[in-house]
Structure 1
Amino acid sequence: MSNATFSVVCYKSKTLANGEHPLMLRVCKDGKKIYRSLGISVNPKHWSFSKNAPKASCPNREQILKIIIAKQAELQSRVLILNSEQKEYTASTLLKSQSDKFTLKTVGEFYTELIEEYARSERCGNRLIYKGSYNSLKVFNKGKLDIPFSHIDAEWLSKYEKWLRSKGNKETTISLLFRTLRSAYNKAIQAKCARKSDYPFDDYKINKFDTSTQKRAIAKTDILEIKECQPTESKRLYMELSRDIFMFSYLCGGINFTDIANLTAENIINGRLSYVRQKTGKRITIGLCDEANVILSKYENGTNGYLFPILDMGVHKTAQQKQNRIHKILVKVNANLKYLANQLGIEANLTTYVARHSFASVLKKSGTSIAIISEALGHSDLTTTQIYLDSFDNEQIDNAMKNLL
């Protein structure tokens, strides 16, 4: 059977009360033509019948073109999906599918819309995660994602996994990419852009990816070495700041880099650090020890509105600008921490995240209640950690943190 062709025509056979002709979607397949109204009309003097398009003189030309392009793209996507699923259709059933509850979309279309929505709502972290997933899938699928979600079955997922491993991706990276893809699939089903009956993750389990084997914490003796060292490498930008950020995170409940970057004077209340964690939306309130206050005092002048010289309120105004800046500085900070670990003979891949794990590990070894520091801090789901920390009063947490140094 041949593919359908479609165009928008000015339907001269019918004249409306306002003297205009309705614009009709014309679908041709197997010698049959079906017409469907677009719900808009145009004065014939503003329509080019040879080009089947509004003339440049048409008053609402841009709006009409936008509607035409969107409808044609919608039909083209539907034809692509039907062809990929090797399903037969007629001009009539093709149009009928547009009026039912489902508007099936390709993987590329849905991902693009999802990423754009995260960008509009300034949820930059989510946008970055789904953008990374989109780019990975696109490279794997030879540069194109004009495939329906039904194309992604257990066999396809298995091939994707083997491809990721062949590229040297670590287990944690593979796990993140698969969890993101599964999340996108679920969102597509919820939005009625994919069918639940095609869902592949009931058969292809992704909890097989082992992400619990990495040991990121370092010993208390290593922490003390980092605390006492005096970085002198003047050519390495942000060297001392890198050390201070690591120690501040360790001393302040494992606060992560993004939250550190966004701290202002308003986050210091009666000698305590109080902030809303961006990842979870949970408020964290924790006592500031003397060592943490010493670090803060080093940067109290000239930090452009923030406690640490990472962001600048006069420069980084949008969520995207902040994210780009934080990512740029984090790369430099982690590179400096790796250099510092090498200089001190610390056998660990030292990053700001190690401070978070070390905070939990050192307190655990000191006999602090696991419930207070939360065993979950060492796992991939760190949201649980914040829920646990929130459930204990400030005095309990402060007493536990006396064991840090």
Structure 2
Amino acid sequence: MEDNIQDYMHFLLVEKGLAKNTLESYQRDLKNYSKYLQKVEGISTFSEVTRGNIVGFLGHLKNQGKSSKTIARHVASIRSFHQFLLREKTVEQDPTVHIETPKTERSLPKVLSLAEVEALMEAPDEGTPLGLREKAMLEILYATGIRVSELITLKVEDVHLTMGFVRCIGKGNKERIIPIGQTAMNILQKYLEEGRPQLRSSKHRDESLFLNHHGKGLSRQGFWKILKALSKKANIEKDLTPHTLRHSFATHLLENGADLRAVQEMLGHADISTTQIYTHVTKTRLKDVYSKYHPRA
């Protein structure tokens, strides 16, 4: 069973080109699944699996207190895995055919107000190389809406200040060219001229755009720590994550009349239905404004 999972992971990596985090999520789900099948159901090969075994596993997850969103993700992982086994002729039938995906409530993303964005942008100390780096990272995130995984993998060559855009590689190794505004360009130029040269190490020669104090590319965890510290400094009470800036980027664009398709392109969403959640956010915010300011609300 372990070999089957590894074959599938190889397929996702080589054929599908999925991102590392996505691959780890698939692998984690399938390991939980195979562990349950072996220990609880007494199954040693995936060809023995029935619909009842899968329903039992989903019930097991529910009893563990897993959310409907987590269970739905497991269903998607298991379904695509069994479809792979069927195509490879490892099994003769797909037991997931009549398995229904649990309905999940789509929660609206948290968004910063314009005042909170301003406070966050003012938090870094531009008088230091690390402060310049922090300010440049925040401005790029808010200016482009890129994911934190895309931010930390940016190379110096991916920034084109004269043309006013950033090139990033997103999910599925898809390239996106995203415009950046003058504010972001100015701080990025300052970071490249005054901040990055002081952080760069002659020993490592790392070409990552954003470096840590050792001269190496900044890690995801490193950025999380920086963001938490800056959020506290800016007195932002919301639970701020790197994705909050991505959500704020999309919401503020739509609130100011941007086209949904253009926002979809910049965010790198394969399906516009993913982007449409931000239209619900803007409607909710409009209702809040109405309720607060209309004399007869």
Same fold (TM over 0.5): yes
Asked whether the equivalents of residues 272 and 285 of structure 1 are also in contact (C-alpha less than 8 Å), the reply is no
SS of equivalent residue, structure 1 residue 286:
strand
Separation of aligned partners in 2, 1:149 and 1:305: 48
Q: Which residue of 2 aligns with 1:370?
A: 260
SS of equivalent residue, structure 2 residue 176:
strand
Q: Which residue of 1 aligns with 2:45?
A: 147
The counterpart of 1:128, out of the listed 24, 27, 38, is 24
* Structure 1 residues 39-93: Cα deviation after superposition (integer angstroms, max 9, x where no partner): xxxxxxxxxxxxxxxxxxxxxxxxxxxxxxxxxxxxxxxxxxxxxxxxxxxxxxx
TM (norm. structure 2) is: 0.69
Indicate the larger mover: 358-367 or 294-303: 294-303
The counterpart of 1:262, out of the listed 153, 163, 177, is 153
> Higher strand share goes to which structure?
1
Separation of aligned partners in 2, 1:376 and 1:294: 21
> Higher helix share goes to which structure?
2
Q: Give the aligned CA root-mean-square deviation in angstroms.
A: 3.9
Letter in 1 for 2:250: A
The counterpart of 1:384, out of the listed 267, 271, 275, is 271
Q: Which residue of 2 aligns with 1:61?
A: none
Q: 1:182 to 1:135 in 2, by over 3 A?
A: same
Is 1:110 the equivalent of 2:4? yes
Deviation for aligned residue 1:279 = 0.6
The counterpart of 2:208, out of the listed 302, 306, 316, is 306
Identity %: 16
Q: Which residue of 2 aligns with 1:204?
A: 99
Letter in 1 for 2:262: I
TM (norm. structure 1) is: 0.53
Q: Which residue of 1 aligns with 2:288?
A: none
Q: Which residue of 2 aligns with 1:229?
A: 123
SS of equivalent residue, structure 2 residue 271:
helix
Letter in 2 for 1:290: Q
Asked whether the equivalents of residues 360 and 373 of structure 1 are also in contact (C-alpha less than 8 Å), the reply is yes
Structure 2's unaligned 5+ residue stretches are 201-205, 276-297
Larger Rg: 1
The higher relative CO (CA closer than 8 Å, separation ≥ 6) is in: 2
Deviation for aligned residue 1:307 = 1.2
* Structure 1 residues 147-172: Cα deviation after superposition (integer angstroms, max 9, x where no partner): 3244141x333333333344444444
Separation of aligned partners in 2, 1:382 and 1:145: 39
Structure 1's unaligned 5+ residue stretches are 1-105, 316-324, 389-405
Separation of aligned partners in 2, 1:228 and 1:382: 30
Q: 1:383 to 1:133 in 2, by over 3 A?
A: same
Deviation for aligned residue 1:138 = 4.0
Deviation for aligned residue 1:350 = 1.6
Separation of aligned partners in 1, 2:46 and 2:57: 16
